Structure 1
Amino acid sequence: MSQNLLHTQLVELANRFGTPLYVYHAEKIKEQFESLQDAFTGTKARFFYACKALTNINVLKYVQSLGANIDCVSINEVKLALKAGFTPDRILFTPNCVDFSEIEAGKDLGVNLNIDNISILEQFGAKYGGSYPICIRFNPHIMGGGNYKISTGHIDSKFGISIHQMRHIERVVKTTGLNVRGVHMHTGSDIKDINVFISGLEIMFEVATHFPDIEFIDLGSGFKVPYHEDDVRTDVKALGAKVKHAFDAYAKETGKELEVWFEPGKFLVSEAGYFIVKANVIKQTTATVFVGVNSGFNHLIRPMFYEAYHRIENISNPFGNPRIYTVVGHICETDTFAWDRTLAEVREGDLLVFYNAGAYGFEMSSNFNSRLKPAEVLLKDGEAHLIRRRDEFEDLLRNQIEVL
């Protein structure tokens, strides 16, 4: 789709559904999923959509229809996945720091369990022995990811069990008879260098030797998507070739043909999403020209939380003279989306679009400042479907109990 046509379509949707507005392109999600399938042709690969990125039930149903599996990090995500049509064998449950009862709830629902805590391993083994297969999440002590906040495999991370605690794990497995059928690692997001995955895979191959009944190795995800015109993306085709070579060599050496699992989240939905806002005011100070929009970190927190970059364009005046603005929200906190960003001249009332808004946009939104959450629209086969209505004032009072 051309940029002009996209802008026209987004303006029409904003006029129809109001702003702020999240819009998702179903066909882009499909394109991303199929690119992974193509990249890992010839490998026993399974892809589990990391649904923490975007859990609208319609998106989950669409991803399910593509043939993907799903990765969940809370028991409610598991329940959403089941409601969306995923069968338990297509659900991977990877929580951390949860009460043991949540692990048990996952077991009772029959999903794949991924355990990242020795304490939980001990409790699970003591109660269930080897009657229910599990996966173990390891911390490989690899610094991967775009920045420290989105790196999860380093020595100070809360995620996973250290590879240096293998003897302890082996004692637990031997004592309780745990049935370990998979091992897992995830080093972070926005990984540019595919050798991060290969280094982790080498570690996981060594870890796998400690578990004779292993069936799969899960390498997590962290595939990078581009955020601006000159940005790069993870070369999944090159990664697929390297992974195939490594697994073929492992099978030849050990006689075991293992599956490789991945958990793409942002990779599937980030580029499919657009966030449309309206310029409320143009405010010029002695130092800066601000564009104040009708949103804030209550709707899109990634720039403030992760220092994430989102490309922004003026879709009401795309051919206006370029000017430098700082784009801010209307929240009573510092909520700067972009500093000193060159945009086509912005006038009060113009519509701006944020790209790469499909992942961790609406999903991390809130009602801070008693602001209302935006609507969500899914574009599929050229038709726009409202998949979440905009909050109304009454939604702010829902679940509150007036006692005074």
Structure 2
Amino acid sequence: MSSAEPTPFSTHQIDLAALLETYGSPLYAYDGATIRRKAGELKQAFDGIDLKIKYACKANTNLAILRLMREIGVELDVVSPGELEMGMIAGYNASQITFTPSGVPFEEVRSAVDAGAIVNVDSIPLLEWFGQTYGNTKPCLIRIKPNVAAGGNAKIMTAHADSKFGISVLMLDEVLEVVKKYDIKIVGLHQHTGSDIKDAEPFLKVADILFEAAKRFPDLEIIDLGGGFKVSYLPGDHVTDMELLGKNISERFNTFCNEYGRKLQLWFEPGKFLVSESGFLLVKTTVVKEDPARNFVHVDSGLNHLIRPMMYGSYHHILNISNPGGPLKTYNVVGYICETDTFATDRELPEVRQGDVLAFLNAGAYGFTMSSNYNARLRPAEVLVDNGNARLVRRRETLEDLLKTQMDI
């Protein structure tokens, strides 16, 4: 992307620098039109299939985002009681929410079932407890680990043999014994391969494994293939070919349904795919430091607001909003946290000056939700731009917010 290329907001005539001026720095800003477009892409890719999209809301739990998802017919996948409560506050019925726990206390599962959510069982001990507690009075899904390694890097792979997630496909006999023992009502099988999967092949491979396992469960209604579609992080980046994926998965799904004897519903649980490209982290340059080894651009944010580059080595494209036509220079873009806190290394940008506004792209997923108050820093505000209007959807934190749970003030 050249410095002159438009951002996704430009079609709405939204000035990113003006947003920062209005709401302060740093600032998370989200484009509702992008979320609507991404959901439409997934629906179009599986046109003709009984498809249900379950937004993996751990990516971004702002209530305004959840309400937008509900408006466009996207349901929820949650991983904690807090996310479940947020979904219901946003207007979802609990029956529209899937709870996919990972080794949680069983009381969390009980609270989700009692609320009316459907649970995705990810271990034999939990399956035993579920059977002892509910017998066949409550439905559940089973999360299968297909033992397939795929994803952007090891930290975001979730279906390989060493992953903590799910019940190994090699343990199906044990699963079926427990199911039979308690007459558990299994309505679906689920798997999630990981994130940032570029090609259709891993999805097809795990789909075949799940379809084969499904033949051993006679009363299924749902096949859930998770999410993990690759999004674009940098110019020319390879992304999942959704049209090809939809065509290939749909063909195999229809074949499986014919063999199974009836039509099932196909679920996907995208998180990043729906919200990543919608988001920007807007920051101001505080110091430009020229050094014999590197030129450093310091900004008024850090890993406390966007930890993905330090945690995953993830790439976020950066725009110099204030000086897009400046001469290109190479910088390390760094944060203000008292740790090694690097957003980008040897990044070529239009000349950055003190006070310039920078925009980190693809910040809509796992940005604010993974933020912290490290160094006693405050979390930023969030703004949603939708239908041509910008509105504050989370105020900036204050020191009082950091202190209000402490008891000896």
Please state which band the TM-score falls in when normalised by the shorter chain.
over 0.9
Written as runs of structure 1 = structure 2, the 5 A alignment for 1:75-114 is 75-114=81-120
Superposition deviation, residue 252 in structure 1: 2.4
The answer on 1:67 being equivalent to 2:73 is: yes
Q: Which residue of 1 aligns with 2:251?
A: 245
Q: Which residue of 2 aligns with 1:134?
A: 140
Q: Cα distance 1:2–1:288, how it changes in 2: closer, same or farther (>3 A)? A: closer
The answer on 1:384 being equivalent to 2:387 is: no
Q: Secondary structure of the equivalent of 1:223?
A: coil
Amino acid paired to 1:338: A
Q: Which residue of 2 aligns with 1:12?
A: 18
Which deviations, in whole Å up to 9, do the C-alpha atoms of 1:176-231 show, x marking residues without a partner? 11111100000100000111111111000111011110111100000111001110
Q: In the comparison of the two structures, how many residue pairs are matched? A: 403
Any unmatched runs of 5+ in structure 1?
none
CA distance in 2, matches of 1:393, 1:104: 36
Q: Which residue of 2 aligns with 1:327?
A: 333
Superposition deviation, residue 288 in structure 1: 0.6
Written as runs of structure 1 = structure 2, the 5 A alignment for 1:348-363 is 348-363=354-369
Checking the alignment, whether the CA contact within 8 Å between 1:250 and 1:256 is kept in structure 2 is: no
Amino acid paired to 2:211: F
Q: Cα distance 1:379–1:334, how it changes in 2: closer, same or farther (>3 A)? A: same
**Counterpart among 222, 225, 229 of residue 223 in structure 1:** 229
Checking the alignment, whether the CA contact within 8 Å between 1:140 and 1:185 is kept in structure 2 is: yes
The answer on 1:150 being equivalent to 2:153 is: no
Q: Secondary structure of the equivalent of 2:82?
A: helix
Amino acid paired to 2:263: E
Q: Which residue of 1 aligns with 2:379?
A: 373
Superposition deviation, residue 168 in structure 1: 1.0
**Counterpart among 166, 170, 174 of residue 164 in structure 1:** 170
CA distance in 2, matches of 1:156, 1:214: 27
Superposition deviation, residue 132 in structure 1: 0.4
Superposition deviation, residue 76 in structure 1: 1.1
**Counterpart among 312, 336, 342 of residue 306 in structure 1:** 312
Checking the alignment, whether the CA contact within 8 Å between 1:247 and 1:257 is kept in structure 2 is: no
TM-score (norm 1): 0.98
Q: Which residue of 2 aligns with 1:267?
A: 273
CA distance in 2, matches of 1:300, 1:226: 18
CA distance in 1, matches of 2:347, 2:329: 8
Superposition deviation, residue 256 in structure 1: 2.0
Superposition deviation, residue 75 in structure 1: 1.1
Superposition deviation, residue 253 in structure 1: 2.2
Superposition deviation, residue 9 in structure 1: 0.6
Checking the alignment, whether the CA contact within 8 Å between 1:224 and 1:233 is kept in structure 2 is: yes
CA distance in 1, matches of 2:181, 2:215: 18
Amino acid paired to 1:315: I
Superposition deviation, residue 8 in structure 1: 6.6
**Counterpart among 3, 20, 27 of residue 6 in structure 2:** 3
**Counterpart among 381, 398, 403 of residue 397 in structure 1:** 403
Checking the alignment, whether the CA contact within 8 Å between 2:141 and 2:186 is kept in structure 1 is: yes
Checking the alignment, whether the CA contact within 8 Å between 1:115 and 1:137 is kept in structure 2 is: yes
TM-score (norm 2): 0.97
CA distance in 2, matches of 1:384, 1:253: 50
Q: Which residue of 2 aligns with 1:279?
A: 285
Amino acid paired to 2:50: K
Q: Which residue of 2 aligns with 1:235?
A: 241
Amino acid paired to 1:319: G
CA distance in 2, matches of 1:21, 1:183: 40
CA distance in 1, matches of 2:260, 2:230: 32
The answer on 1:53 being equivalent to 2:59 is: yes
Superposition deviation, residue 244 in structure 1: 1.5
Amino acid paired to 1:238: L
Superposition deviation, residue 151 in structure 1: 0.4
CA distance in 2, matches of 1:238, 1:398: 51
Q: Secondary structure of the equivalent of 1:347?
A: coil
CA distance in 1, matches of 2:289, 2:234: 26
Checking the alignment, whether the CA contact within 8 Å between 1:219 and 1:262 is kept in structure 2 is: yes
Amino acid paired to 1:151: M
How much identity, in percent, do the aligned residues show? Answer: 48
C-alpha root-mean-square deviation of aligned residues, in Å? 1.3
Q: Secondary structure of the equivalent of 1:80?
A: helix
Amino acid paired to 2:369: E
Superposition deviation, residue 326 in structure 1: 0.2
Amino acid paired to 1:177: D
Amino acid paired to 2:239: R
Q: Which residue of 1 aligns with 2:196?
A: 190
Q: Secondary structure of the equivalent of 2:160?
A: coil
CA distance in 2, matches of 1:368, 1:250: 50
Checking the alignment, whether the CA contact within 8 Å between 1:191 and 1:224 is kept in structure 2 is: yes
CA distance in 2, matches of 1:8, 1:377: 12
The answer on 1:317 being equivalent to 2:320 is: no
Superposition deviation, residue 2 in structure 1: 6.4
Q: Which residue of 1 aligns with 2:297?
A: 291
Amino acid paired to 2:234: H
Checking the alignment, whether the CA contact within 8 Å between 2:215 and 2:260 is kept in structure 1 is: no
